[in-house]
Amino acid sequence: MSKPKEKTKESISIAITGSGGAGVMTAGTLLLEVAAQAGWYGLMVRSSGPQIRGGEAAALMRFSKSPVECLDDRFDVLIGIDWQNIHRFADEIPLDATSVMIGDPDQSEPPEVFVKRGAHYAPLPFKQMAKSLPGSWPNMIALGVAAGLAGLPVDSIKAVLQKSLKKGGGEKMAANIAAAEAGYAFAEGVPSVPRLSGKLAAGKEARWLITGNQAAGYGAVRGGVRFCAAYPITPATEVLEWLAPALPKIGGALVQAEDELASINMIVGSSYGGVPSVTATAGPGLSLMTEAIGLAVAAEVPIVVIDVMRGGPSTGIPAKSEQSDVNIAVNGLHGDAPRIVVAPNSIADCVSATQWAVYLAEAMQSPAIVLSDQYFGQTRAVVDPPADIGLVTERLKPAAGENGYLRYAITKSGISPMAIPGNPGTAYTADGLEHNERGLPSSQSGDHIKQLDKRAKKLDQFDYGARWADIEGEGDLAVVTFGSCTGAAREALARAAADGIKGRLVSLRLLAPSRPAQMAKALAGAKRVLVVEQNHTGQLYRYLRAEYDLPGTTRSFRHPGPLPMRPDEIHQQITEWSRS
Amino acid sequence: MSSPAAAAPITAQAFKSDYKPIWCPGCGDYSVLSSFTKAFAKLQLLPQDVAVVSGIGCSSRIPAYTTCYGFHGVHGRSLAAAAGLKLARPDLTVVVASGDGDGYSIGGNHFLHACRRNVDLTYVVMDNHVYGMTKGQPSPTTEPDWDSKLSPGGTGLRTFNPLVIALAAGANFVARAFAGDPNGTADLIAEAISTPGFSFVEILSPCITFRPEQREWKQMVRPAAVTYTNDAARAARRIMTDDGMNIGVLYKGERKPYQPPIGKGKKNPSDLETEFAL
Ligand SMILES: Cc1ncc(C[n+]2csc(CCOP(=O)(O)OP(=O)(O)O)c2C)c(N)n1
Ligand code: SF4
Ligand SMILES: [Mg+2]
């Protein structure tokens, strides 16, 4: 029987769900590896219920033959290894009449919220099938089904399972490969999902499988970081868990502190000692750290604080994403305290942007906050390896025994040589008290103004180059955004372009200090500026309105987490506004 | 230039900066400053190899009064900053200066964990049983009936015993000193610096302005009648039953300091990439 001609699509989206212990994340991670093995790109966003362990989980995935930066608007496939509490993911897993839904009829019918969206339901008795293949697991059947529906080659599944099940021994491996193959065969009989269009990219061997949190950790060490002190917090802990074994290999160390007050003060101390230092945290920890970040501003000690944003305020929604720490990052210190705020705008950019943040902090002897978020941090993606940006700073230091050394000397750039303990003849006291050029405490207005100017000037006059923002496209409509909304905004603009609506994208990598001249250039001729962000009050929008003269009319498009910003909602905004 | 072989020994004076302290005349902290410089000279340290780290308070102003590298951070966090510095730079001698408010109240949690972590630091607390810098409020070591504007009639709270807490939390060296005996205090600080691990020296340092009655301490202190023990339980019992005026080393243990092997690993960051490569 000849098959009807296959439909194609640029990307395929698959969600695998199940209750705790069903192995959802394992199946998802392996599926990502299978796709990578086949030369595809893809990402897997993790979502889970509130339980510490054993709660319902969802692996939300999207695959394509070109790099994938965000989830799509809907899912082609939903696989429920079981359906226990899976209705809680209804908002996160939009389905429609062309979607396919696979579930185990022996356990329960699919949740009503999914059924009523009209998706095609194909029952598959996961448990029973796994029983018939002794030693196999239902999640390996799910892996096979997903791979089959996505149109991945069966050989790639075998290759990945042979590698990852090596430890379990020959029998386990054989049983589970058989389970995946059985799932794969089952997929043949299910109404087909469109096939991926496009060509495989060349050089696929060189690609990386990485999470945003690992990427941020790696970016930090690429930038020269050798010391980290930190206190665990969701969703930043994986940055630390990556750094803990990595730092000793390259001559560094990670210390678990007693709290964030300790961790931030420890890295101010270690960096004062000349060792580039980092900590990673989330909103609650960042709140505790603000006093000592101000100390680093005043005493001019470089430090990098990676904030993996989650839903706030307070404990908020710990395991889910939200871009709601813009305010605290750009404004959250007492006094007039200039600081650097950098935001990566893709998972791969978590490497480069964090490396850049270390470079900027070290070059300007200033704290730098890196605003990542849970969506980047805990998402695993197949990416092209981000090139080393080649920026590692040697701090500006005085010579040994420099005559009349002034730690906080007023210089043209605002940057003054920083003596490192051990250097003879240049001892000084690093102080959070306002001070004179020598570093001695002073409450005189002249010294205060000089040092305030110095600290503002060094950040303001620095040459940030082209890295301050990614600027793409043209047209009189501009979308200004940052961080994890970038992928969705880029995709929305591409869809608008396909409808004949031209627009440009300005994705800010440098949130603070602001770059008015560069922004004016990037937005020259724009008549409408749409500011896109994932929070409730429009924190970026308000900041932009305060810091920049935005041309034409401006609009804020925003919603809080935990739902990700999706291309379609931005596309709709662009379309409506362009027609009005 | 003189030949290095004939270098003269370094004196206490060489550790004194030309910056004039802001302290009230008669404040105990002047003597503690001189004990610092004497201890450094006794050990023949070099100013550039010593870091004096502090928080906020009258006592915490010490760093800039020395010629060492100084770090005057935020209130209560000196131990954290010092631990970060020492762990990253084990080659330095790191001495921490604090007060009873800075160290036992706002910084209390760091005190516990510093004892437990046992980083090779010397922690000197100038205890005057009052918040001097903020002009006379009760601290965790202030007597329950001490009257102040903020605590009319006294706090009614029992005092906190920092030495016993240090022992319980794992400090490796515990001593009590009196600012009125700068030479004896210098010897105790020098011994604390020479003892590996976390060394805690509590110095009774009178606040002449807000606790003038502390002038009496001179008559009250005495050398501890017995030499120190390496048994923490015995030391704790002695300290809990004395009147708080026994001066000397009270406990010395043999715990190995905590120090991750910084500088040992020789790989390059790019060597770490293999774990991401497909
Ligand atoms: C976060 C913070 N809270 C409060 C203060 C105000 N403050 C400065 S010093 C101090 C108490 C100092 O007491 P102590 O450590 O005993 O030092 P002393 O002045 O007695 O030597 C306080 C409460 C501060 N500087 N920072
Ligand atoms: S207030 Fe007390 S502790 Fe502070 S300087 Fe004066 S005497 Fe010393
Ligand atoms: Mg005090």
CA B101 to chain centre: 13
Q: DSSP secondary-structure letter at B22?
A: -
* Contact (CB<8Å) B69/A429: yes
Give the CATH number of the domain where residue A345 resides: 3.40.50.970
Residue A547 forms part of a structural domain: yes
Indicate if A226 and A130 belong to the same structural domain.
no
Q: pLDDT tens digits, residue range A356-403?
A: 999 999 999 999 999 999 999 999 999 999 989 988 888 999 999 899
Give the CATH number of the domain where residue B168 resides: 3.40.50.970
Contact predicate A149/A6, CB 8 Å: no
Q: How many angstroms separate the CA of residue B148 from the nearest CA in chain A? A: 28
Mean pLDDT across the stretch A60-81?
Answer: 96
* Contact (CB<8Å) B80/A269: yes
Question: What is the residue range of B82's domain?
Answer: 21-275
- What sign for the dihedral angle of Cα B21, B23, B28, B29? negative
Indicate if A377 and A228 belong to the same structural domain.
yes
* Exposed/middle/buried for residue A3 (C-beta within 10 Å: 0-12, 13-18, 19+): exposed
**Average model confidence (pLDDT) across chain A:** 95
* Contact (CB<8Å) B88/A275: yes
Mean pLDDT across the stretch A459-478?
Answer: 97
- CA of B208, closest atom in ligand 2: 7
pLDDT band at A169 (very low <50, low <70, confident <90, very high): confident
Residue A451 forms part of a structural domain: no
Residue B9 forms part of a structural domain: no
pLDDT band at A344 (very low <50, low <70, confident <90, very high): very high
Residue B7 forms part of a structural domain: no
Chain A CB contacts of B278 under 8 Å are 33, 36-37, 204-205, 207-209, 382
Looking at the structure of chain A, the number of domains it has is 3
pLDDT computed for residue A3 by the predictor: 43
CB-based contacts of A572, cutoff 8 Å, min separation 6: none
Q: Please, what is the angle between helix A283-299 and helix A260-272, to 10°?
A: 30
Residue B10 forms part of a structural domain: no
- The full 3-state SS of A280-309, as one line of letters, equals EECHHHHHHHHHHHHHHHHHCCCEEEEEEE
pLDDT higher than 70, residue B278: yes
Per the model's pLDDT, the better-predicted residue between A359 and B1 turns out to be A359
Other Cβ atoms closer than 10 A to A385: 16
Contact predicate B122/B98, CB 8 Å: no
Q: Which of B37, B87, B109 to mutate to test the interface with A (most CBs of A within 10 A)?
A: B87
Residue B109 contacts A where some CB pair is shorter than 8 Å: yes
Residue A174 forms part of a structural domain: yes
* Contact (CB<8Å) B264/A424: no
Indicate if A161 and A235 belong to the same structural domain.
no
Identify the CA nearest to A295 among candidates A397, A394, A366.
A366
What is the B136 CA–ligand 3 centroid distance (Å)?
Answer: 9
> Residue A76 half-sphere exposure, CB side, CA atoms within 13 Å?
27
For residue A204, give the chain B residue with the closest CA.
B278
Indicate if A331 and A291 belong to the same structural domain.
yes
B209 Cβ closer than 6 Å to some ligand 2 atom? yes
* Exposed/middle/buried for residue B20 (C-beta within 10 Å: 0-12, 13-18, 19+): exposed
Residue B93 forms part of a structural domain: yes
Contact predicate A525/A473, CB 8 Å: no
pLDDT higher than 50, residue A303: yes
pLDDT band at A53 (very low <50, low <70, confident <90, very high): confident
> How many Cβ pairs closer than 8 A exist between chain A and B?
193
Residue B92 forms part of a structural domain: yes
Residue B92 contacts A where some CB pair is shorter than 8 Å: yes
Distances (CA, A) of A488 to A68, A493, B102: 10, 9, 49
Residue B170 contacts A where some CB pair is shorter than 8 Å: no
Residue A422 forms part of a structural domain: no
Q: How many angstroms separate the CA of residue A423 from the nearest CA in chain B? A: 6
Which segments within A240-354 are labelled E, that is strand? 253-256, 277-281, 303-309, 340-342
Indicate if A50 and A172 belong to the same structural domain.
yes
Residues with a beta carbon under 5 angstroms from ion ligand 3? B 99-100, 128
Residue B28 contacts A where some CB pair is shorter than 8 Å: no
- The pairs formed by A386-389 with CB atoms below 8 angstroms and a separation of 24 or more are A386/A215, A386/A348, A386/A349, A386/A351, A386/A352, A387/A352, A388/A222, A388/A355, A388/B270, A389/A352, A389/A355, A389/A356, A389/A359, A389/A467
pLDDT computed for residue B7 by the predictor: 78
Q: pLDDT tens digits, residue range A1-42?
A: 344 456 788 999 999 999 988 999 999 999 999 999 999 999
Indicate if A223 and A279 belong to the same structural domain.
yes
Q: pLDDT tens digits, residue range B226-258?
A: 999 999 999 999 999 999 999 999 999 999 999
Mean pLDDT across the stretch A510-520?
Answer: 98
Indicate if A293 and A181 belong to the same structural domain.
no
pLDDT computed for residue A121 by the predictor: 96
pLDDT band at A51 (very low <50, low <70, confident <90, very high): confident
Q: What are phi and psi of A18, to 5 degrees?
A: 170, 170
Looking at the structure of chain B, the number of domains it has is 1
Residue A437 forms part of a structural domain: no
For residue B201, the surrounding DSSP H or E stretch is: strand B199-204
What is the B55 CA–ligand 1 centroid distance (Å)?
Answer: 8
* Domain edge (last residue) among A383, A407, A435: A383
Contact predicate B170/B92, CB 8 Å: no
Residue A411 forms part of a structural domain: no
Residue A99 forms part of a structural domain: yes
Identify the CA nearest to A553 among candidates A480, A470, A477.
A477
Indicate if A125 and A215 belong to the same structural domain.
no
From B33, B58, B131, B215, give the residue whose CB has the most ligand 2 atoms within 8 Å, as the site to mutate: B58
Give the CATH number of the domain where residue A116 resides: 3.40.920.10
At residue A276, what is the residue type? P
Q: pLDDT tens digits, residue range A390-447?
A: 888 889 999 998 999 999 999 999 999 999 999 999 999 999 999 999 999 999 999 9
For residue B122 the two structure tokens come to 């010397």
For residue A485 the two structure tokens come to 């909304």
Q: Which of A263, A392, A429 to mutate to test the interface with B (most CBs of B within 10 A)?
A: A429
Residue B187 forms part of a structural domain: yes
Mean pLDDT across the stretch A60-87?
Answer: 95
Indicate if A75 and A13 belong to the same structural domain.
yes
Q: How many angstroms separate the CA of residue B251 from the nearest CA in chain A? A: 25
Give the C-alpha separation, B97 to B61, whole Å. 8
Question: What is the residue range of A21's domain?
Answer: 8-196
Give the C-alpha separation, A405 to A418, whole Å. 10
Mean pLDDT across the stretch B100-118?
Answer: 98
Within the 120-149 window of chain B, which residues sit less than 8 Å (CB to CB) from chain A?
A: none
pLDDT computed for residue A165 by the predictor: 87
* Exposed/middle/buried for residue A216 (C-beta within 10 Å: 0-12, 13-18, 19+): buried
pLDDT computed for residue A6 by the predictor: 62
Nearest CA to ligand 2 atom 5: B23
pLDDT computed for residue A167 by the predictor: 77
Q: pLDDT tens digits, residue range B162-215?
A: 999 999 999 999 999 999 999 999 999 999 999 999 999 999 999 999 999 999
* Domain edge (last residue) among A362, A383, A404: A383
* Nearest CB to B265 within list A33, A251, A424: A251
Distances (CA, A) of A407 to A423, A438, B78: 13, 5, 21
Indicate if A228 and A182 belong to the same structural domain.
no
For residue A203, give the chain B residue with the closest CA.
B278
Residue A557 forms part of a structural domain: yes
Q: How many angstroms separate the CA of residue B139 from the nearest CA in chain A? A: 21
pLDDT band at A205 (very low <50, low <70, confident <90, very high): low
Contact predicate A321/A374, CB 8 Å: yes
Indicate if A503 and A574 belong to the same structural domain.
yes
pLDDT band at A203 (very low <50, low <70, confident <90, very high): low
Chain B CB contacts of A258 under 8 Å are 109-110, 112-113
Q: State the pTM of this model.
A: 0.97
For residue A400, give the chain B residue with the closest CA.
B48
pLDDT band at A74 (very low <50, low <70, confident <90, very high): very high
pLDDT computed for residue B6 by the predictor: 59
pLDDT band at A201 (very low <50, low <70, confident <90, very high): confident
Identify the CA nearest to B191 among candidates B150, B261, B252, B116.
B252
Give the CATH number of the domain where residue A528 resides: 3.40.50.920
Residue B113 forms part of a structural domain: yes
Q: What are phi and psi of B145, to 5 degrees?
A: -100, 10
Contact predicate A25/A319, CB 8 Å: no
Give the C-alpha separation, B34 to B182, whole Å. 7
Indicate if A216 and A306 belong to the same structural domain.
yes
* Domain edge (last residue) among A147, A174, A196: A196
* Nearest CB to B71 within list A208, A269, A424: A269
What is the B131 CA–ligand 2 centroid distance (Å)?
Answer: 9
* Contact (CB<8Å) B51/A273: yes
